[in-house]
Structure formats: structure tokens, C-alpha cells
Chain A
């Protein structure tokens, strides 16, 4: 492929990736966009202080709270489960990996409908706690798969050496394992938070419309014809994953690893 072709391809990819995001940005800034105007009227930022703006702020807070709770807990669960899996024989490891893949691949709506009955029995349906527990199911699956990959390459002989030198289990964990896995743990926490951040179907089914996360609010706004607030919600939803992706790109550039 010539350099010219490569430039064309890069330009096409830029349009492919950026055009939808630019469209959301423009729509979030203008109250109305009459047909057939290609470029809309002047922007208005009053949207942020309207009643729908305040609804969005509340939904944003709920989603942040859920992501902040789901990320660390799913990361800890994922790493603890993966630790057992990484040391197992090939067939048991394959079985455990398939078990972790199941809640990841299972359709969220199907998972939600099944879990809804459990949530109703446990009286957590329609509560923030119930939605959080439901988010933990796919997030722990993702994190287990992630941690299996990390721990398969982890050199356990260093832990054994520390134990040989008299370190207790807690000392090995706090002074050897966690510091060595630190960056991967942080990535895992971010990944777990992002899995929770994008959940819609599970939040709808378990939350029963009472727990208003940002994706739930976005869907309600667009269905009620409020595209401007919907676009604003979409941008708010995109921001944290974009930041995470940027940080990851920066990290891979510094370490020379490929993303």
C-alpha cells in the first residue's frame, strides 16, 4: 500500500470514527435543528440548567456511584477467582474460563429477566443495591477473564521466595503481590467501572425504572423526543470511557506495548 493510499485510509477512518461523535456534540448544543439546515442555528447552553439538565445530573451521579462501587468489588472478586483458575490444570482452566465467559456473553436482557425473580425474592428489585448486585454479575465475568490473562503470566516463584524468607501470607499479599499487580489492578477497576457504566438492559429490568442511571435516562429522553438532552447524555456517557482509552493509549505508548 502506497503512502497516499494510507493517508486516504486514515482520513476515511477519521471520518468513520469522529463523524457520529461530532454529530452528538452539535445536537447537544442546539435546542432545535430545523430541516433542511445542514448547519444549525446558534448554540444555547441553557440546557444545562433546565429541569431535564438537573435530571441528567442526578442520573450521572447514580451512574458514577454504581461504577465506583462495581469497579473495585468486581476487580477484587475477579482477581481472587482468577488466582485459583490460573494455577489449575489445562482442562479445569478451560472450564473455568468458559464459566467466566457465560455471564459476559449471555444477553443482558435474558440475564436481567432471570435475576429479576431473584431480586424480587430478595426484596432488592427497584433499589440501587439491587442494580449494583446485578451489574456485578457481568462485571465479575469480564474481570475474571481479564485477570486470568494477567495471572497466567505472573511469576508466582517470587511469592514462594518471600514465603521461604519468612514472610506471612498477609505480608506476601501486601508487599509482593499487590505492588507487582498494582497497574493491572487499577486497569481492572477501571474496566469493571466501565462495564457498569454502559449497562442499560440490566438496570432497566432490575431497577424497574426507579433507579435512573444515565443510559436509562438517555433512552427515556430520546423516546420522548428530547434529542438535545439525549445527545448531552450520550456525550456524558462517552466521556469517561474516552478518558480511560486515552490514558490506556498513553500508557501503551510509554511502555511500548501495543493496545
Chain B
């Protein structure tokens, strides 16, 4: 290692250290060697988590809702960025949800989509429903409808800002060249703007996806109890009155951290691939 790189390597270790120490403790707690109720080497929590059908269903549900929300938010962000590039007011509205913390946004979604929420009242005023239970269940539902909308609402600003940055730095020159060579507006969008936008946005979309998988605030107010989101099961197990079950929370944490680590590696590679020099 060169002298120039030594501080950076030390710094990298320092930043990741608390998370790594936490992960190491979680590992030891998952196999019964640390934490409350530790009684020596025990693979019970690991086996119980890995063989629990409910956990796998919850994991699949978590990944599905996060994936759908990421795709919806990414497509909307690309459309908004392309459409409102120079419009300051529209851009302000697009980034405004950035200021609303997740738990506050989740409460707003609850008030909006609940069966006695604002949309249901609007339906009543328009004569579409006559009782709250006639309004479709969009909260605590297995489809995760309100959760997906709330996720997309919160991620749209971040992805829009990314899309705007990509458009500002990478597309203008190529756009002009394509138009000069006779491409129509549609061809320019499909063959120049969209591919560049997609590649530039991919790392941000991946980061948003990883963030949504680990989200606790919004599922705690909007998600159903069956299947249960991974973050909710993890918290439930971590405060379980039966101290012996807390090891399962550590197994679930390790699973979540492994997913996060995989995303970090994929993000780093995608980002390197989408650098301007390589496009």
C-alpha cells in the first residue's frame, strides 16, 4: 500500500467499523455466543429462520413492493426530468417530498388511502361509495398498494434530481448531434436520451431499492401483518419477551446486511460503468 493510500484505507475501515462490529456481534448472537440469553453455540435460531415459510414469504413481499416502487418512481422521475427540465416551479414540486420524513409521509398515506380516509370521503361525495367498507382496502393490504405509492412518493425527488443531473451533464451534445444528423424528436429520445438516462440513473435506482428493502417507518404504519415485511419481523423478534427468540432477530439482520452488501458491490460496479468516460 502506498503512503498516499494509507489514510484512505484507514478511513474506509473507520467508517465501516461500527457497522462491521454490529454485524460481528449479530453473527455471534445468531449462533448463541453473544447477546441476552446466550447459552453457548446453538444453530437453532439460524435453522428456525431459514426454514420458516412466513419469513420467506415476508422477504419475497418486501422485495416485490420495493421493486415495484423503484420501477414506478424511476419511470416517473425520468418522465418528469425530461418534461420539466427548465421549469423551476415544477422542479420545486418534484423535490418537495424530500423534506417530508418517511414516518410523516406514511401517516399522510394512511389519512389519504385508509377506508375512512380522504379518497374514501371523496368517493362518498361523488356517490361512488356509501360506506367506508365499500372503499377498497389500500392500507394493510397484501398488495401493498398504499405502501408502494408512499415509497414512490418519497423516492421520486431523489431519482428526479439524479435524472436532471444526468440530463444536464451527458445528453445535450449528443442530443444536438442526433438532431443535426436528421433524427426525429422521438428517435432522439428513444436512442439517445433514454439509454443515457437509464444508465446514469441505474446506480441511484439501485440505492433507492436497497433503501426501500430496509425501510421500517413506512411498513410500520402501512404494511399488513401477514405477510410481514422483513424490517417489521426483525424488530418484533428483537424485542420478543422470549429472550431465546431474539437470536432470530440477529439472523434476520445478517440477511438484511448481506443484501445491503450485495447492493453496495453492484452499486459500485454500476457507478464505475456509468461514468461519463465510459459512455
Residues of A within 8 A of B (CB): 1, 5-6, 9-10, 13-14, 16-21, 23-24, 27, 35-38, 81-85, 87-89, 92-103, 105-118, 120, 136-137, 140-141, 144, 197-198, 200-201, 204-205, 215, 218-219, 222, 227, 230-231, 233-235, 237-238, 241-242, 244-245, 249, 253, 258-259
Contacts and interface: CB of A to CB of B under 8 A. Distances in A.
Contacts of A215: 101, 103, 217
Given A6-B90, A141-B15, A241-B100, A109 B8 contact: no
A219 B256 contact: no
Contact of B107 (A88, A98, A218): A218
Interface residues of B, number: 98
Contact of A238 (B18, B21, B99, B211): B99
A144 B214 CA distance: 21
B5 A89 contact: yes
Contacts, number: 292
A233 B221 CA distance: 15
Contact of B257 (A6, A83, A110, A120): A110
B53 interface: no
A1 to B, nearest CB: 6
Contacts of A259: 91, 95, 161
B121 A24 contact: no
Contacts of A241: 98-101
Given A10-B90, A84-B10, A115 B18 contact: yes
A27 to B, nearest CB: 6
A94 B121 CA distance: 52
Contacts of B19: 102-103, 106, 111, 114, 137
Contacts of A17: 93-94, 96-97
23 contacts: A5-B83, A21-B100, A36-B120, A38-B118, A87-B4, A94-B268, A99-B11, A99-B15, A102-B260, A102-B264, A103-B15, A103-B18, A107-B214, A109-B231, A110-B256, A114-B21, A114-B23, A115-B22, A141-B15, A198-B102, A215-B101, A219-B103, A238-B104
Given A38-B125, A109-B231, 16 more contacts: A6-B87, A17-B93, A20-B105, A23-B111, A81-B14, A106-B257, A106-B260, A107-B215, A110-B260, A111-B22, A114-B25, A198-B101, A204-B235, A234-B108, A242-B99, A259-B161
B118 A23 contact: yes
Interface string B68-94: 000000000000100110011111111
A121 to B, nearest CB: 8
Interface of B: 1-2, 4-5, 7-16, 18-19, 21-26, 29, 34-36, 80, 83-84, 87-105, 107-112, 116, 118, 120-122, 124-125, 132, 153, 161, 164-165, 168, 207, 210-211, 213-217, 220-221, 230-231, 234-235, 238, 249-250, 252-254, 256-257, 259-261, 263-265, 267-268, 272
A244 B96 CA distance: 11
A37 B121 contact: yes
B112 A35 contact: no
Nearest to A80: B11
A159 to B, nearest CB: 15
A222 B207 CA distance: 29
A21 B103 CA distance: 13
Contacts of A96: 8-9, 11-12, 15
Contacts of B90: 6, 9-10, 13
A117 B99 contact: no
A160 to B, nearest CB: 15
A108 B214 contact: yes
A238 B109 contact: no
User: Which 6 residue pairs across A and B have the least CB separation, nearest first?
Assistant: A107-B214, A114-B22, A84-B7, A88-B8, A20-B108, A234-B104
Contacts of A137: 18-19
B217 A200 contact: yes
A182 B29 CA distance: 44
Among B5, B83, B124, B261, max chain A CB count under 10 A is at B5
Contacts of B210: 105
Among A20, A93, A242, max chain B CB count under 10 A is at A20
B80 A13 contact: yes
Nearest to A115: B22
Contacts of A106: 19, 214, 256-257, 260
Contacts of A105: 207, 210-211, 214, 260, 263-264, 267
Contacts of B104: 24, 218, 233-235, 237-238
A44 B90 CA distance: 34
